Structure 1
Amino acid sequence: MSFKNTLEFAKQLDAQDKLSQYRNEFHFPQVNGKDVIYFTGNSLGLQPKRSQKYVDEVMKDWRELAVEGHFYADKPWWDYHERLAEGLGKVVGAKPEEVTVMNTLTVNLHLLMVSFYRPSEKRFKIICEEKAFPSDQYMLQSQARFHGFDPSKAIVEVKKRDGEHAWYTEDILQTIEEVGDELALVLMGGVNYYNGQVLDMEAITKAGKAQGAFVGWDLAHGAGNIELKLHDWDADFGAWCSYKYMNSGPGNASGVFVHERHLGKEDIPRFEGWWGTKKETRFLMKPEFDPTETADAWQLSNPPILSLAPYLASLEIFDEVGMGTLIEKRDKIVAYLEFVLHEIDKEVDSTFEIITPEARGCQLSVFLHGEGRSLFDYLMKNGVITDWREPNVIRLAPAPLYCSYEDMYNFGQILKQGILTK
């Protein structure tokens, strides 16, 4: 498609957008009396308006039923989490029984490591990407130490090539082959938080498993953003937060995937709690753990219902829209944003370098050569909510559920003005 950097053209794109009405489903912060241009759905998604209704339902049931809400609420609390499984399965490419919701992301990765990092004297190494999200780095280092290994020897980081901003799939596959039978686990971010790159999860999973290792994915920036096929790719496990592209609210509950071949096993290493037992026997308070035959077996305690309510509301939107339609708009609006950036670059005495490769989701990470933090501050003061990463990178994530093409055009004009008036 041939784009134009004009307000009229942007409005034409919005008029043709099948998802345009969903913008009205979300609350926007305001700056200077206007809705902001919101580029940080990769950190915290906007609040769906229907979330309030779902939370109010729980509050009403708590008020009127108290403890009886576990069984007699309109959506009983004791199986509330099960209502999320089918919708989440569609989002991450899994069977409903392979998905559950519990805790928060790093907590869940630690719990999953109990099952899927089983190092021996020879097979103990973990492959991850260079400069993974800090929480993943800390988690992997502490897990290595917990098992008695030196993290500097146990953790193998796949580095970018000199002068490159993205990883090459062949470098990751080569590293997996080189580590060989010393490899216990491949655990990487499926979508890199810094440059927005989507890794070839299918190829990497296949290579890791060919070496006899477990393979898992941190999908914090993947769930609700890109097409995932966790079951078909044969990944052993995955986990993601729900508050970024999934719009469930700050710090909200994390989703977990465990492949069906690991389900229903009583002998799998796992930290266990009573909510992981079968529903039929859970309230018999038996001393023996009787695992449910789904990913719920990894649950420890009864889920936080007030957290799950807005997550369920958001999943209702995803189910209405479908990931295919979402991805179609995502690709178009990100391409238009890229076009606008290049057009503005021609008009100002600056150089924008997009470091996000073609394998991408919603996010464009942009080096603002010749610019500094003052430009970011200008954007924020003028109603563009974006994200700054040192030394001079802004991350722009136009979430297709609520961002418009007019937003992309207006952002370009504000960006140009910020550079020209510095």
Structure 2
Amino acid sequence: MNLNQIHNVYFIGIGGIGMSALARYFKNIGKQVSGYDKTPTTLTKELIASGIAIHFEDSIDLIPKDYSVENTLVIITPAVPKTHSEWNYFVERDFYVKKRAEVLGIITKDTFCFAVAGTHGKTTTSSILGHILYESGADVTAFIGGIVENYNSNLIGDGKTVTVVEADEFDRSFLHLHPNIACITSMDADHLDIYGTSDAIEASFLEFAGKLEDKSKLFITKELPLEGVTVAVNEEAVYSAFNVRIEDGSYLFDIKTPKGILYDFRFGLPGKHNLMNALMAIAMAEIFGTPTVAIAVALASFKGVKRRFSYQIKREDLVYIDDYAHHPTEIDAVHQAVRELYPGKKVLAVFQPHLFSRTRDFADDFARSLSQFDELILMDIYPAREVPMEGITSEWLFDKIDNQQKEIVSKEGLIKAILKSNAQVIVTIGAGDIGEMVVSIKEALNENI
């Protein structure tokens, strides 16, 4: 398939964070873009405002009539069921129907591709790297799985020769990519509904790593069973951040590299996990040839990603942070960052579990992670693409959590429950539609002064 011959691009599931970045990209390069999604969101409103036609009813009558087999590409998300009538309409008529990952593979094949893989840290690392490359003048487009605060978008740049992509392990999507430089931030078990076992997910990462014949272009953390360039914080590695200190709310640190010591980098995102993400991005940009000064300047100006330790309220008496964390390891990282920044303060965590299968597979780990907070509000499981599983409920998870101040609350009762708390630090956590409630929570807290 030649993208130059494609005039129309139709998305089924256009409101997804990865899908919407592709929609923006195709609109930027002059394609006619439209699509379907199940429900309106902030993202779909932004796409509509940019001139993209979107509807929210699964109806073949709403597909543009001038979209022909020869000049139309249809992009689907794995979250859409195979019974979807619009999907079947295009398949039955032999349209070009591709998964998002396949399309990213087509785009990256003809570019110099940076691929960021790992069960945690992909979005933040990709955002930092995309920002560094863009600010340093590279001809880059970065496809991001989150909204980058500096750009208020999930797309950075409009370059034609360099791409930055998140190499997503879900559905083995990253195996479609053609990376020139890559990193793997972690290989924890996840998506066991797809893989079945942790061995299977590890095998998939090994296959992805095999796409880089030159292992000097593959950056890894020290504990991974892979050949590559090691990256670490406060540990011996090929790229190592050391002399780490906090000054005016930001990390300051030095970096040992193969070429020597780099001094006094400043980075504003809290948490050791984010420092590791920054170091991965720095190492990838450095081997690409980005000047050290340009890297340092861009890193200091990076504002973060929405829903990644995203400050909503930052007052002396109250802090409200929102985070996308949906795996026990990610919740641990949020907890570590909060305790480092606000020692001695009472912390309330509001958690919405994401997927019945993930809740089932990591229930004991979730319980351990959530027990660390001073107070906990647990919401119902957000199903996303799944149907309920017998016995897998928030009540079941709730009983495993060792926390004296805990309660289960519905979406309707959430704000009232939050306002009852006397916690000085509040964190909302989860990958479901809790993100759509953040503005309302913030407004209620501000009105409650």
Q: Same fold (TM over 0.5)?
A: no
TM-score (norm 1): 0.27
Greater helix fraction, Structure 1 or Structure 2: 1
Greater strand fraction, Structure 1 or Structure 2: 2
The answer to which structure, 1 or 2, has the higher relative contact order (CA under 8 A, 6+ apart) is 1
